[in-house]
A and B are shown apart, each in its own frame.
Chain A
Amino acid sequence: MYGQGLIKGLRITLKHFFEKKITQQYPEERPNLPERFKGSLTLNVPKCIACGLCSNACPNHVIKIESQKDENNKKKLTGYKVMLERCLFCGFCVEACPTKALEWTKEFELTKFYREDVNLDLFKGYVPSPDDDKPAKPENEDTAQAS
C-alpha cells in the first residue's frame, strides 16, 4: 500500500512524543562534564617551577612565562600569561607540566565582552604565603589531617 512507510515513520515519531524529554534546559540545568573536560586553565603557583615546558609544548606560543632567579639560584615565577584568544585547547601544556601545577578547569563559559578580557593572567591573583616553601605533602597525609 502506498503511504505505508509514511505511517510507519509517524508511528515512530508518536512513540517518541510521549517519551521522557531529553533536551537539556541549559542555563538552568548544568551539564555533567567528564573528568577530562578541557575548559579554562588554572595554575597552582607554588607548585610551578618555571621550567617553561608548557610554553615550549604549545603549538601557537600562547603561554608567556616570566621568572627570576632567587638567592639560592632557584627559578621563581613572576608572571604567567595565557593568550587564550589564540589557544587551541589541545592540552599539550597540561600534559607537559612535570609538577602538575597547570590544570584544566571545568569552566566553559569563557565568553567576554571585551577582547582583552579573554586572555588569562594566571599569576595575578597569587599572594605569597609561608606555606608555599614547604615541600608538597603526600596526599594521604593531607586527608588524615582534614579528618
Chain B
Amino acid sequence: MLKTQELTLNLGPHHPSTHGVFRCVLNLEGEYIQKAVNHLGYLHRGIEKLAESRTYTQFIPYNGRLDYVAGMLNEWTYVHAVEKLMGITEEIPERAQYIRVILGELQRLASHAIYIASMALDVAGATAWFYGFRDRDEILDLLEMVSGQRLMPNYMRIGGVAADLPEGFIEKCQALIDEFPNRIAEQEGILIGNEIFQARVKNVGPISKEMALDYGLTGPNLRASGVDTDLRRDEPYGIYDRFDFKVPVGEKGDTFDRVLVRIEEMKESVKIVKKALRDIPEGPVMAKVPKVIKPPVGEVYSRIENAKGHLGFHIVSDGSTKPYRLRIYSPCFVNIGIFPEMAKGIHLMDAVVALASLDIVLGEIDR
C-alpha cells in the first residue's frame, strides 16, 4: 500500500529568485505545502544601530545598502525625513525637486524592470530576463553618469542634491524615455501574452483585499489586490502634486495581477519623467543648510512610495549631530510576512512564483 509522509524541506538559505539570502522551512505533503515558516536575518548588518554612530549626513550612503535595487529612492526617503525634522521641506530648490523626481522615477523603472526580469526567470523564461536587465542597465548608466555609482548612488543630500545634472544628461535621458514604451511593449509581448507564462501565474497565490489590508501590505502588492492607494497621489511629497498620473489597480490579487500592476506602473513612471524633463527649471540644487546638521530636539516619521511599498524613517533627535534612534519601516519586511499564508496548500513550484511576485529585497528586510 502507498503511504505518504510529511517532509520537511529547507528552501534556502540562498538567493530566492530575488535578492539576498532567504530561508524558508516548508512542511510538504507530497508536493503540496502544509506549512511555511520564514527565517530571516542572514543579511543583517545592523544599519539602524550604525546610524546612531554616524552624523546625519554620513548616514546617507548607508541607505543605498537597504534596498539595493532602488538606492536612489531610499536616499530620498531618508533626506526627506531629516528635512521634515529640520522643517526645511519648503526651502528645497525647484531644480533639486525635479532632479529628485526624475531620478526617483528612473530608479522605480529600474526596480520594476528587475522584478519583471526575475519573475520571468522563475518560470524559466531566460530571454525576458535578459531583456529586463538590458533595460535596467541603461537606466543605471544614467544614474552612474549623475552620481558616479550604479547601485549606491549617494546623490541626495539634506537640502537638495549633491551636484547639478552633468552635461548631456537631459538629452540621453530623453532618448531613453522616448524609447522605453517600446521596451515595455516588448516585455508585454514576450512575457505577458505568453500562454505558458499565464498558465503558470494566473490564480497563483491570490491575496484578497481584506487579507492584504490585514497583513499591512503596501505598494504595488496592495494595489494588485484592488486597493486604490498611492502615497504619491494621496499624500504628495516633494512636487508630486504637479504630476498627473493614473494609479493602476488589480482585481484578483493573484500573481498575474501583481505583474500587470508593475507593468502599468512603469508606463506611468515614463509619463512622469517625460513631464519632469520638460518642466525642469534652471537654478541652484542645494538649499542653504548649515554645514553641520543639528536638527532640533524631537522626532519625525516620514514615508514615501518606494518601488516596493511605503518606506518610512522614524528619526528621534536629541539635538546633537547624530540621530538618537533611527528606525526603518521596510515594505519588504511587511510583504514577506504574508508568504506563509500564501504558500499554504499550494504546489511547491507555485510557491516559488508566489515568492518572486512579492518583490522582496532581503537587504531591506534584514537591514
Are the C-beta atoms of A90 and B144 separated by less than 8 Å? no
Query: In whole angstroms, how far apart are the Cα atoms of A8 and B189 in the complex?
Result: 6
Are the C-beta atoms of A34 and B148 separated by less than 8 Å? yes
Judge if A92 is at the interface, Cβ distance under 8 Å: yes
Which residues of B186-218 have CB atoms within 8 Å of chain A's CB atoms?
Answer: 186, 189-191, 193-196, 198
Are the C-beta atoms of B148 and A92 separated by less than 8 Å? no
Are the C-beta atoms of A59 and B61 separated by less than 8 Å? yes
Quick check: which of B52-60, B253-261, B267-275 contacts chain A, the rest being far away?
A: B52-60
Judge if A79 is at the interface, Cβ distance under 8 Å: no
Q: Which chain A residues lie closer than 8 Å to B194 at the CB level? A: 5-6, 9
Judge if A57 is at the interface, Cβ distance under 8 Å: yes
Query: In whole angstroms, how far apart are the Cα atoms of A57 and B146 in the complex?
Result: 21
Q: How many residues of B contact A (CB 8 A)?
A: 30
Are the C-beta atoms of A59 and B54 separated by less than 8 Å? yes
Judge if B154 is at the interface, Cβ distance under 8 Å: yes
Would you give the 0/1 interface string for A4-39, flagging 1 where the beta carbon is closer than 8 Å to chain B?
111011011100100000100000000000111110
Are the C-beta atoms of B189 and A37 separated by less than 8 Å? no
Q: A9-B191, A13-B190 are in contact. Are A57 and B58 (CB under 8 A)?
A: yes
Query: In whole angstroms, how far apart are the Cα atoms of A2 and B162 in the complex?
Result: 53
Task: Give min CB distance, A58 to chain B, whole Å.
Answer: 8
Are the C-beta atoms of A2 and B195 separated by less than 8 Å? yes
Q: Which chain A residues lie closer than 8 Å to B195 at the CB level? A: 2-6
Are the C-beta atoms of B166 and A34 separated by less than 8 Å? yes
Interface centre among A2, A3, A11, A59 (most CB of B within 10 A): A59
Query: In whole angstroms, how far apart are the Cα atoms of A36 and B163 in the complex?
Result: 10
Closest to B59 in A: A59
Q: A2-B195, A12-B186 are in contact. Are A36 and B148 (CB under 8 A)?
A: yes
Q: How many residues of A contact B (CB 8 A)?
A: 27
Query: In whole angstroms, how far apart are the Cα atoms of A11 and B190 in the complex?
Result: 9
Are the C-beta atoms of B57 and A92 separated by less than 8 Å? yes
Closest to B186 in A: A12
Query: In whole angstroms, how far apart are the Cα atoms of A104 and B58 in the complex?
Result: 19
Closest to A33 in B: B144
Judge if B62 is at the interface, Cβ distance under 8 Å: yes
Specify which of B144, B148, B189, B193 is in contact with A91 (CB 8 Å cutoff).
B148
Interface centre among B147, B148, B152 (most CB of A within 10 A): B148
Query: In whole angstroms, how far apart are the Cα atoms of A13 and B129 in the complex?
Result: 12
Q: A6-B196, A90-B154 are in contact. Are A12 and B148 (CB under 8 A)?
A: no
Would you give the 0/1 interface string for B134-158, flagging 1 where the beta carbon is closer than 8 Å to chain A?
1000000000111111001010000
Closest to B167 in A: A35
Q: Which chain A residues lie closer than 8 Å to B62 at the CB level? A: 59, 88
Judge if A89 is at the interface, Cβ distance under 8 Å: yes
Would you give the 0/1 interface string for A65-92, flagging 1 where the beta carbon is closer than 8 Å to chain B?
0000000000000000000000011111
Query: In whole angstroms, how far apart are the Cα atoms of A95 and B162 in the complex?
Result: 9
Query: In whole angstroms, how far apart are the Cα atoms of A22 and B60 in the complex?
Result: 34
Are the C-beta atoms of A89 and B149 separated by less than 8 Å? yes
Query: In whole angstroms, how far apart are the Cα atoms of A142 and B59 in the complex?
Result: 40
Task: Give min CB distance, B182 to chain A, whole Å.
Answer: 11
Which residues of B57-93 have CB atoms within 8 Å of chain A's CB atoms?
Answer: 57-62
Query: In whole angstroms, how far apart are the Cα atoms of A92 and B54 in the complex?
Result: 13
Q: A59-B54, A92-B57, A92-B58 are in contact. Are A104 and B148 (CB under 8 A)?
A: yes
Are the C-beta atoms of A36 and B146 separated by less than 8 Å? yes
Q: Which chain A residues lie closer than 8 Å to B193 at the CB level? A: 4-5, 8-9
Q: Which chain A residues lie closer than 8 Å to B186 at the CB level? A: 12
B interface vs A, CB < 8 Å?
Answer: 54, 57-62, 127, 131, 134, 144-149, 152, 154, 162-163, 166, 186, 189-191, 193-196, 198
Q: What are 26 A-B contacts with C-beta separation under 8 Å?
A: A3-B195, A4-B195, A5-B195, A5-B198, A6-B196, A9-B127, A9-B189, A9-B194, A11-B189, A12-B186, A34-B166, A35-B145, A35-B166, A36-B166, A37-B144, A38-B148, A38-B149, A59-B61, A88-B152, A90-B60, A90-B61, A90-B152, A91-B154, A92-B58, A92-B61, A95-B162
Contacts beyond the supplied A59-B61, A91-B148: 14 A-B pairs with Cβ under 8 Å: A4-B195, A5-B195, A8-B189, A8-B193, A11-B189, A12-B186, A12-B190, A16-B131, A36-B166, A38-B148, A38-B149, A90-B61, A92-B58, A104-B148
A interface vs B, CB < 8 Å?
Answer: 2-6, 8-9, 11-13, 16, 22, 34-38, 57-59, 88-92, 95, 104
